[in-house]
Amino acid sequence: MRLFIDVRLSAGMKDALVHAQKELYDCGVRGRFTAEENLHLTLAFIGEVPDAQPVLDALSELDFAPFAIALEGMGCFGDLWWAGLRDSAALEALARKVRRALAEREIPFDRKRFSPHITLIRRASGKLPGILLRPASMTVSAVSLMRSDRGKKGMIYTELGAVEAQGPIDA
């Protein structure tokens, strides 16, 4: 199983991202656009594992309060174009907690520095036009373990489990 841990995005956040994708397309950008149902914020990429249960066990011990995130800016890593997020100490802390929980249980994961972004297009062509993201924010109230399978028309993501935030929203 190919696994990753993410934050599922709200409908409002996805609407803003799909609008940005449409604007990019209208500006002549081509590539593999991320399907709306697959838009997400990865906290940790795990990759291939034989059993998801150890990861679910690690996630079950996460403790975090709900907090807000907001879209801000766009950028690229080579031909991968993304939407960014406003700086968030709470998001950075959550990513550290997730990664620490995996490391403590010796679950391998991609240890690249956490760089919060939402992938909009892979194999993008052209130059990144100066479009603006629609304002969008949401409350992070859960973290999900996702399975990734290759389908005939692209990737299919399936939630295997989630852990809910506890307590009042963290300002």
Residue 110 scores a pLDDT above 70: yes
Question: What pLDDT, on the 0 to 100 scale, is given for residue 128?
Answer: 81
Is this structure's pTM higher than 0.85?
Answer: yes
End-to-end Cα distance, the chain: 36
**Which tens digit of pLDDT belongs to each residue from 133-144?**
999 999 999 999
* Structural domain boundaries in the chain: 2-164
Confidence of residue 171 (pLDDT cuts 50, 70, 90): low
Q: How many CA atoms lie within 13 A of 152 on its CB side?
A: 0
**Cα–Cα distance, 171 to 166 (Å, whole number):** 14
Q: What is the DSSP letter of 102?
A: H
Residues 1-54 pLDDT 10s: 899 999 999 999 999 999 999 999 999 999 999 999 999 999 999 999 999 999
CA atoms within 13 A on the CB side of 114: 22
Structural domain 2-164, CATH architecture: Alpha-Beta Complex (3.90)
pLDDT tens sequence across 45-98 = 999 999 999 999 999 989 999 999 999 999 999 899 999 999 999 999 999 999
- Residue pointed to by tokens 């036009």: 129
Tens of pLDDT, residues 116-170: 999 999 999 888 888 889 999 999 999 999 999 988 878 899 999 999 998 777 6
Rounded Cα distance between 107 and 71, Å, is 30
Closest CA to 28 of 149, 127, 169: 127
